[in-house]
Chains A and B, each alone.
Chain A
Amino acid sequence: MRRDNIVLRSLAQIGDCALFLLRILAAIPRSLRHVRETVRQLWFVGAMSLIIIMVCGLFVGMVLGLQLYDVLSIFGGTSATGTVVAIAIYRELGPVVTALLFAGRAGTSITAEIGLMRATDQIAAMEMMAVDPIAYVAVPRFLAGVIAMPLLCCVFCALGIFGGHLVGVSWLGIDNGTFWSNMTASVELVKDVINGVLWKSVVFGTVVSLIAVFQGYTTPPTSEGVAYATTRTVVASSIAILALDFVLTAFLM
């Protein structure tokens, strides 16, 4: 097949990626015996991403609180700051920003690690020891990403709302009771939390983990190949997250 055309090449990559997803799904039962490896990966991609997620969540919430207070004060509606901060974070900023940060922090490390394992023949060595690298290397990292993303998103949202509260209530003087009561009255469990935080973050976690593992697994075994694969993980993940965000929002609204 000719792959010199960029459109054909991109379509072929998406097709290869979809086939790779089928291989991963088929290998999940075989990888159940590697639960310890999945837990280890969960630590690397989840727990080790906590700091960046928490710090970014806090600042996003603080900036949001500041901007909204400024705009809402024009209309005398500063009491709605908490509501708008929460809805913005739950529906969009929480899942999207967490996924973008996750792609940059965990996705790149997954790609680089698997790419280097291929470049140094570790994947081939597993094949030679009759150990399926898809079940041992790819699936644990993929599952860890799918599990970690919603959890990280929850942490991001919590810290974001805390940041909004910090600026709105503690700094700018919005009434604490008004901030929380308006928020709890306006935020809906299904529409905002489940559709926003849960579904979006599960889909984004799946896509980012798949792209990261696929890029690492199929990278040419050279230092340049690993570098390009790592870059492709960030670029492809970012585009996929933003495009899917539109599609999901359209369907879930």
Chain B
Amino acid sequence: MTDSVSAKPEDSTLVRVRGLTTVLNGKKVFDALDMDIPRGKITAIMGPSGTGKTTLLKHITGQMRGDAGEIVVDGQNVSSLSREKLFELRERIGYLFQNSALLTDFDVFENVAFPLRQHTKLPEVLIRNIVLTKLQAVGLRGAAALLPAELSGGMARRVALARAIVFDPMLILYDEPFVGLDPIALNQVLKLIRTLNQTLGITSVLVAHELEAIKRVADHIYLIANGKVVAQGDPKTIANDGSPWTRQFFGGEADGPVPFQYPAGDYAASLGFPRGNP
């Protein structure tokens, strides 16, 4: 792993998003979005489905580029980085994919060892110890020899988590980390996220819908909808915010500023009733 910790005085903001505007297939996903991810904290990004939370993570890691605005990660403008510089930055970022994205040809051990083998020349015994330590942390040391096809969805997610943290990166992006986890695994993953943050100072960004789980670990929550940040604050503040956005989202109400129905024509007409006489 690189040892390129910035020599300059550290900015308290690790990720700075300014004026991000993205249009995909004619739909404005982000509309001049501004967001700050503080260094060494756990930040949760929440919002209705399809609002662009995963897309935002892809922007932060340079997998996608916006139509306007800038994203600065650890002092580097992601959209203007060369491929080599972007890869150097990504070596310091862990990313947990929504669908785990394990390499199906390799067993669990080799999946977790993959980044180490690609970027270091560590002796085999050290690689083995690091991998087993990470697998122990996610409770899957005993599954090291299994293939991804032999894992349940929750187990695959924990293996992917072990792979994401194998380098102890400066920033970890978790895309839906709690989906498919049983209560025991959920509790352990929450503790792991908190431990990584507290002991190693790793900055974490969580994209999730599980408010109760988020409340237990997040220092700051952003609620995004309609391409903008509509509410933000620590879990207690945002829960008592009282705005129509937070009331609808955290209350799970169908009516509110976020439409439950995807835009469609007249319902009665779709069912074949004459207009005005359902």
Q: Which residues from chain A sit less than 8 Å from chain B, CB to CB? A: 116-117, 120-122, 124-125, 127-132, 136
- Are A128 and B103 interface neighbours, CB within 8 A? no
Interface residues on chain B, number (Cβ under 8 Å): 20
Q: Is B87 an interface residue (CB 8 A)?
A: yes
List residues of chain B with CB within 8 A of the CB of A120: 99, 101, 104
- Expressed in whole angstroms, the minimum distance between the Cβ of A243 and any Cβ of chain B is 34
- Are A132 and B87 interface neighbours, CB within 8 A? yes
Q: Which of A121, A127, A129 has the most CB of B within 10 A?
A: A129
Q: Is B119 an interface residue (CB 8 A)?
A: yes
Partner of A128, one of B95, B102, B104, B119: B95
Q: Is B90 an interface residue (CB 8 A)?
A: yes
Q: Is B136 an interface residue (CB 8 A)?
A: no
Partner of B90, one of A117, A121, A130, A136: A130
Q: Which residues from chain B sit less than 8 Å from chain A, CB to CB? A: 61, 63, 87-88, 90-91, 93, 95, 97-99, 101-104, 114-115, 118-119, 163
- Are A124 and B119 interface neighbours, CB within 8 A? no
Report the Cα distance A117→B114, complex, angstroms. 16
Report the Cα distance A122→B163, complex, angstroms. 13
Report the Cα distance A128→B95, complex, angstroms. 7
Partner of B63, one of A117, A127, A130, A131: A127
- Expressed in whole angstroms, the minimum distance between the Cβ of B93 and any Cβ of chain A is 7
26 chain-A/chain-B pairs, Cβ below 8 angstroms? A116-B104, A120-B99, A120-B104, A121-B98, A121-B99, A121-B101, A122-B101, A124-B63, A124-B97, A125-B95, A125-B97, A125-B101, A125-B102, A127-B90, A128-B93, A128-B95, A128-B97, A129-B90, A129-B115, A129-B118, A129-B163, A130-B87, A130-B118, A130-B119, A131-B115, A132-B87
List residues of chain B with CB within 8 A of the CB of A136: 118
- Expressed in whole angstroms, the minimum distance between the Cβ of B99 and any Cβ of chain A is 6
Closest to B2 in A: A130
- Are B99 and A128 interface neighbours, CB within 8 A? no
Closest to B118 in A: A131
Closest to B92 in A: A130
The 6 A-B residue pairs with the shortest CB-CB distance in the complex, in nearest-first order: A121-B101, A125-B101, A130-B87, A130-B90, A128-B95, A130-B91
| Also in contact, A130 and B88, with CB within 8 A (given A121-B97, A125-B101) | yes
- Expressed in whole angstroms, the minimum distance between the Cβ of A106 and any Cβ of chain B is 16
